[in-house]
Amino acid sequence: MKEYWTALASLMGAFAFLQGVLHAVFPAELRAAVARLLGRLTRGLSPYCYFDVTEMDGMSTNEIYDAVQLYLSSTAAPASGARLSLSRPLNASSFTFGLAASDRVVDSFAGAAVTWEHVVAPRQGQGFSWRPLPEEKRRFTLRIRRGDRDKLLPAYLDHILAAAAEIRRRSQDRLLYTNARGGAMDARGLPWDPVPFKHPSTFDTLAMDPARKAAIMADLRDFAGGSAFYERTGRAWKRGYLLYGPPGTGKSSMIAAMANFLGYDVYDLELTEVGSNAELRKLLMKTTSKSIIVIEDIDCSVDLTNRAKPAPAPPRARPGIDGGIEQDGGAGAAARSITLSGLLNFTDGLWSCCGAERIFVFTTNHAEKLDPALLRSGRMDMHIFMSYCTFPALRILLRNYLGFQSDGELDGFAAGAKEIVRGLEEWVDAAEITPADVSEVLIKNRRSGKAEAMRELLGVLKDRAAGKRRGGAAAAETGKEAGGENEEEEEEKRALESPKEGKETAGIDGHDEVTEAKKQV
């Protein structure tokens, strides 16, 4: 044993001596050059090539570094059992995982395996810089087989950037933007005010006919995944929905459900705050893709039926953004010089393709008041009638508000309370009640137990139905509410029966959705 230690000590002594001789004989530059040469030789023989993605690119942060970190944390890392760091960005509601120092993960793309290593080293000497640099130098090193290089680059990096953008969008809270500042810009030159969008409405909680709901969801899914379709057919990647129906039938809830379903931001465009077509163009150009642009109560916001009419006494005329002439008909019109052409140019004209993947939603209580130009095919691709509560819709509200866990539980309950449930089914159509009113009754009575709340609701339905039956001329005179609702219903029917060219639209797959909507009514 003693001999062993003696031999080891003399070996180390010899090694130290040799190192001293090397340092003395060869200058530092020569040693570095030899090291570089050796490195190049070994790399030349290696079947792999390496790419460094540093955190800082000169003085600025490297976008690819952030993207790789996000991408690896959500895709490769969890499967590989690597060590992760956890974080939650400010204002975000979900966690982000990150790869810890010196950890490796394996990923694959287009059938080729790649390895990522996260290398962290202390930064030596800060040097001069206008802003402090991180104390550590961080980088990801990508190792791929030489033969896979053409296959992976740049397609793999493009894939990572796209995936990271999607993860970032999903993990952040979505925003609801408003233009309530009347066109004034904020410090960053943006005309929109954002607030976190946390509307709880989803397609699950939305009370409407399940078949129509499924058709709308399928249409939205087709739209969101239809990038190739829109490119192939040369169409701008946008879609327009017109939601119409009496107040309280869920038009705004439907918009929230759409936004939650697709994970899009919502731009609530208040047309009365927009002074001119040019201002409208500025606003719309500052919207991002993957968003829903909403104009609520379009018939009330602005007079949009004026496209073809000459102005009664035009005090002045100036060119519109679409090359036409905007007509300022009197003081009111001058104050609101936004025109239907200006709006249409954005939903349908050349400007519609600035910013992809956008949905326009217009809502109205009076579809018949809208200019046919707004309704024609290609502008509003789908017309959705939000009707009074039907029995299938009522079942959804009962589930939402009375705590039934499933349709099965509701059916089981109905078996024991046959006369109530059958009564609801029998009276709901005749009562012509909106989902908002049903919700009110259920909220008010939900503490009294399921059966009692349903009995109360049945009473309300019967009262309403009786009121309607008495209705007609008498209701118009005596009950403003009943009369108003009848009138509204007549208007809706007239709107649906209006000429086909004003209403008919074709979906992505070419089927006629409006016919479907008509069937529902």
Told to check if 249 binds ligand ATP by CB under 6 A, we report yes
Judged by CB under 6 A, the residue of 157, 213, 241, 248 near ligand ATP is 248
Residues binding ligand ATP: number (CB under 6 A) = 16
439's contact among Mg ion, ligand ATP, none, with CB below 5 to 8 A by partner kind, is ligand ATP
Name the β-bridge partners of 122. 136
Task: Quote the least distance from Cβ 267 to ligand ATP, whole Å.
Answer: 17
- Of these partners, ligand ATP, Mg ion, none, which one is at the site of residue 85 (CB under 5 to 8 Å by kind)? none
- CB 247 to ligand ATP: min, Å: 3
Q: Does the protein bind ligand ATP through residue 520 (CB under 6 A)?
A: no
Range in contact with ligand ATP (rule: CB under 6 A) among 201-209, 221-229, 305-313, 468-476: 201-209
260 binds ligand ATP (CB under 6 A): no
Q: Are strands 358-364 and 291-295 parallel, antiparallel or unpaired?
A: parallel
The answer to the question of residue 433 lying near ligand ATP (CB under 6 A) is no
Q: How far is the CB of 256 from ligand ATP (least distance, A)?
A: 8
Separation of alpha carbons 185 and 285, rounded Å: 13
- Minimum distance between the CB of residue 249 and Mg ion, rounded to whole angstroms? 9
Among 157, 161, 208, 431, binds ligand ATP (CB under 6 A): 208
DSSP 360: E
Binding ligand ATP (rule: CB under 6 A), the pick from 253, 276, 337, 445 is: 253
State the Cα–Cα distance between residues 466 and 246, nearest whole angstrom: 20
Q: Does 212 bind ligand ATP (CB under 6 A)?
A: no
Evaluate the CA torsion angle 194, 200, 206, 207 in order and state its sign: negative
Tokens of 281: 């163009």
- Give me the residue label for tokens 């502008």: 379
Is residue 206 at the binding interface for ligand ATP, with CB under 6 A as the rule? yes
471: Cβ–Cβ under 8 A, 6 or more apart, which residues? 479, 482, 483, 486
- Tell me how far apart the alpha carbons of residues 276 and 199 are, in angstroms, rounded to a whole number: 31
**Which stretch in 32-40, 248-256, 300-308, 494-502 sits in contact with ligand ATP by CB under 6 A?**
248-256
Site for ligand ATP in 368-387 (CB under 6 A): 386
Considering beta carbons, is residue 355 or 435 the nearer one to ligand ATP?
435
Element (H, E) at 63: helix 63-74
> Residue 35 corresponds to which amino acid?
A
H or E element in which residue 106 lies: strand 104-109
Nearest approach in angstroms of CB 435 to ligand ATP is 3
Residue nearest Mg ion, CB atom distance: 252
Quote the tokens at residue 20. Answer: 């001293």
Contact 504, 512 (CB under 8 A): yes
Choice between 245 and 355, CB closer to Mg ion: 245
Token pair recorded at residue 57: 């690119």
76 is in the binding site of which of Mg ion, ligand ATP, none (Cβ under 5 to 8 A by kind)?
A: none
Of 80 and 205, nearer to Mg ion (C-beta) is 205
Q: Which residue is nearest to ligand ATP (CB)?
A: 250
Q: Which of 69, 179, 252, 339 binds ligand ATP (CB under 6 A)?
A: 252
Q: How far apart are CA 137 and CA 120, in angstroms?
A: 6
Binds 392: which of Mg ion, ligand ATP, none (CB < 5-8 Å by kind):
none
In degrees, rounded to 5, the angle at the alpha carbon of residue 282 between the alpha carbons of residues 278 and 285 is 135
CA distance 489 to 315: 40
Could you give phi then psi for residue 287, rounded to 5 degrees?
-90, 150
- CA 55, CA 74: separation in Å to the nearest integer? 19
Nearest CB to ligand ATP, comparing residues 82 and 441: 441
Task: Find the part of the chain contacting ligand ATP (CB under 6 A) among 49-57, 72-80, 137-145, 241-249.
Answer: 241-249
Alpha helix (H) residue ranges in 140-209 = 149-152, 155-171
The tokens 């030596």 sit on which residue? 124
Which partner, Mg ion, ligand ATP, none, binds residue 249 by CB below 5 to 8 Å per kind?
A: ligand ATP
Contact footprint for ligand ATP (CB under 6 A):
205-208, 247-253, 365, 386, 435-436, 439
